[in-house]
Structure 1
Amino acid sequence: MKILYVASRPLEINTSASIRNRATIEGLIENGNDVTLLTTEPDNNHSSYDSSMLPERLKVHYLKTGGVQSIAKGLRGKRTFIEIRKKLYKIWDYFNVYDNLKGIVGYAGRLKLDMKEFDVIISSSDPKSSHLFVYEWLRRNRDIFVRWIQIWGDPFLNDISRRQAWMKKRIKKEERKLLDGAEKVIYVSPLTLDMQKHIYKKCADKMTWYPIPYLRKEGSVKDSGRLEGKRVKLAYCGDFSSHIRNIRPLYDYAMSHDVELTICGISDLCLENAANIQVLPRMSQDRVQEIESKADILVHISNRSGTQIPGKIYQYSGTDKPVLFILDGEKEKLFHYFSKYNRFVFAENTCEDIQRAVDVIIKHDSDGVIYNSVPDFDPAKIAESILK
């Protein structure tokens, strides 16, 4: 099958969405599909640029973008850029429904790709402009039939990263328009699926959900007693904006216990390094793999609110390392869904319960939990489900 995969942010910009897209694309290729990626031209000077994120055997069609992205690209690398970028993006985000990669939509009428070549178009957020591009492209080519499958990393109206209440009516109208145009709509959280079916009842029959595929399956030397009597190393690799995730209990736990903790990601918090705590910015995928490979316990922190599930838990599910699953927000629903895999050790987001859960892992006293990769999150399996 010939597939056009549309993601307006380049895979080379290392984000959780890029990791999800890469894993999905690799699953599609593994199943024998011919995949072409349509995306925007990456900026090699971007702080999150990582050339290793691009899969082999993938055809890529790059588009140039204009507007605020062009301004940002020209300023990147200059000392004053960081503050100017923050102001530009803040202004854009406040007044615009879509992201700053919306410029990709301008190419819908002059794209040098023949839609008839493809059996399926898959658009994947985030950013949401990925869906808008395909909507406009199909609108201009109504005489050609091609299946359109949408994958939503985050919902539009109820994306917890957006806080402009006055824009909700406009956003809901745009979200409904996009959903109406798709043949199949996929979410990556069962909680989000339930919410979206309730809000957009007319589209409910075309909605489903699949978990995020892990990027790679990784193993390590197993020894059930290997953590007792040693200084345990924990790793949290993911962004942790304070209004989305609460990392303080984990940080405070490490400050008061004889463990090592590595934190790696973007945040508005200024956490200080300590003798046993290393705080790093977002790193390349290779560096993240190195950090995670040296850790004894991988840590996942749930969102404070909303139905979205951080993608890191699925990436950790491709390993055979212990995973500390810190519950927050929709705790009961998250526990109900993830506990069925008998893969994770759960803790409330408090210092005391984190300590209890870490002790359980150290003593290998986690009843019924098996530290193996989760078959349901295999890329080829999920890619097959997407195309059904």
Structure 2
Amino acid sequence: MKILFIACYSPLINNSASIETLQYLNNLAKFEENEIHLLTVNFPPNSIYYDEYIFSMLDPRIKLHIISGGIIFEKIMPKKKKGEVVTEVNKLNLKIKGLLRKIKKIFAVPDMYLYWAINASKYGVRLMAKENFDVMFSMHEPPSSHICAYKIKKNFKSLKWIAYWSDPWLKDSTRDSSTLIRRKFEGYYEKKIVNLANKHIFVTKANRDDYIKTYNLKKDNTFIITRGYDDKVYKEIEKNEIPKLINKEKINLVYAGEIFSKLRDIRPFIKAINKMKNENGDLYNKLNILFFGNIDNNEVKEELLEIDNVKVSNRIPYNEALSYMINADVLLLFGNKNSKQIPAKIYDYFGCYGYILVILGDENDPIIDVVNDLDKCSVSKNNDESIKNSIIEVCDKIIKNEKSNQVEEYEWENISKRLDSILRED
């Protein structure tokens, strides 16, 4: 089976979507009869997003087609310089910085990759004519992956196209403040894409049900597949030295991921920790709390830094983040509010031996369907009292030396077999 795999976020970079792409690619490549071509965005080695370790994990049998994101994309992409993160924008004065932000806001519709989608689709049309693929598979997020696939499909109506929806598009809570013109543009494309694709894969039941209702999809043409973890990679990392910020004399709580304040409110967590300091000082002093990843609200970041048993670090390479997760006693997960999206980090956590503390985004958080019946997971509402009690409960298990196991059903090999069978179906 010849597969044209389209994803803006590829193993060239380090984020949740790129890890997902990596695993699907590698596991699909294990089927000897599969030939896979990846059409993706160029993130050069001097980009802060480029991750050499993740890229080195990509199966060499994958044929790469890497297309530039365009001049504007190249200009505003944050760059590395002598070990420091700088950008081309930082070299300009504040007036030009403001102008570039306005340009980004105007042109980043539906995301920063629309120019790429247009050029990559032209390349893809030529590639399709040459390779005669059996199936095309495109991954959202971001939406431009689907736009690229849509433009290719219009030229080859008989080409089987499976669209993967990791999140909602138009109904994503991060797009609530979009202008009417932008919503119309994106709504036009979403409808066209949904109607032209042959099949759709979703990560959550809530998102699938919403798309079925909104676009009158046949349920038989929709599927649910989750992310997973690669046990072989975990076993290799376990052989390495314990990361320097892990303190084996304490209970290590680790969060590895982004904090977007519009989606994830961590202030109740901060209040809970401060409450513990006043009410349960002995347990508080046993905690070593580590945050890895960008936090978009500086006030929240400062509040975290004021807590003496909390350390906050910027984005770290994937293998280093995995090492911290694997050596954690408790893995923190903050659900998304007003969203049908599940943080992909939960599936990385399922491969670790630590307990998982899930803090719900709101009462409708779809992650509850994934974690509710798992002994490994302790679920808390997002208020300080509930979080405090959940921390005490899970720490009590650790103090009593109770063990938590991996959740084997989410191992990548099992999940990818399901994807391969969907791609093969008529």
Q: TM-score, normalised to structure 2's length?
A: 0.79
Tell whether the 8 Å contact from 1:179 to 1:203 is kept in structure 2 after alignment: no
Change (3 A) 1:4 1:330: farther
- Pick one of 253, 269, 272 that aligns with 1:253: 272
Partner of 1:50: 51
Which residue identity is paired with 1:56?
Answer: D
Structure 2 CA distance for aligned equivalents of residues 101 and 62 of structure 1: 13
Paired residue type of 2:250: R
Counterpart check, 1:128 vs 2:143:
yes
3-state DSSP of counterpart to 1:340:
coil
- Deviation of 1:250 after TM superposition, in Å, equals 2.3
Counterpart of 1:80? 91
How many residue pairs were aligned? 377
Identity of aligned residues (%): 25
2:38 counterpart residue number: 37
2:163 aligned residue: 150
Query: Which amino acid in the other structure matches residue 191 of structure 1?
Result: A
Quote the offset at 1:200 in angstroms: 1.1
Q: Which protein has the bigger helix share?
A: 2
Secondary structure, counterpart of 1:345 in structure 2? strand
TM superposition shift of 1:7: 0.7
Counterpart mapping for 1:159-308 below 5 A = 159-162=172-175, 163-166=177-180, 167-202=182-217, 204-216=219-231, 218=234, 231-255=250-274, 256=277, 257-258=284-285, 259-270=287-298, 271-272=301-302, 273=305, 274-308=307-341
1:161 Cα deviation (Å)? 2.0
Matched residue of 1:161: which SS? helix
Q: Within 5 Å, give how 1:82-101 maps onto structure 2.
A: 88=100, 91-94=103-106, 97-101=109-113
In 1: Cα distance, 2:332 partner to 2:395 partner: 14
Q: Displacement, 1:333?
A: 4.8
Cα deviation per residue 1:288-319 (whole Å; 9 max; x = unaligned)? 12322332111111012111111001111122
- Report the Cα offset of residue 196 of structure 1: 1.5
Amino acid at match of 2:18: S
Q: Secondary structure at the match of 2:174?
A: coil
The whole-number CA distance in structure 2 between the counterparts of 1:187 and 1:280 is 32
Q: Does the CA contact (< 8 Å) of 1:118 and 1:146 recur in 2? A: yes
Q: Partner letter of residue 38 of structure 1?
A: L
Equivalent AA in structure 1 for residue 341 of structure 2:
Q
Secondary structure, aligned partner of 2:172: coil
Q: 1:278 to 1:69 in 2, by over 3 A?
A: same
Task: Give the counterpart of 2:367 among 334, 337, 340.
Answer: 334
Distance in 1 (CA, whole Å) between partners of 2:92 and 2:271 is: 33
Distance 1:360 1:348 in 2: 14
Segments of structure 2 that go 5 or more residues without pairing to the other structure are 80-85, 240-247, 278-283
Distance 2:98 2:321 in 1: 25
Residue type of the alignment partner of 1:130: S
Q: Tell me, yes or no, if the aligned pair for 1:65 and 1:103 is still in contact at 8 Å.
A: yes
Higher relative contact order (CA 8 A, sep 6+): 1
Q: In the superposition, relative to structure 1, how do residues 22 and 171 fare at CA in structure 2: closer, same or farther (>3 Å)?
A: same
2:24 aligned with 1:24, yes or no? yes
1:62 aligns with 2:66: yes
After TM superposition, give the deviation of residue 38 of structure 1 in Å.
1.1
Report the TM-score, using the length of structure 1 for normalisation.
0.87
Deviates more, 1:343-352 or 1:185-194: 343-352
Structure 1 segment 305-320 matched on structure 2, within 5 A: 305-320=338-353
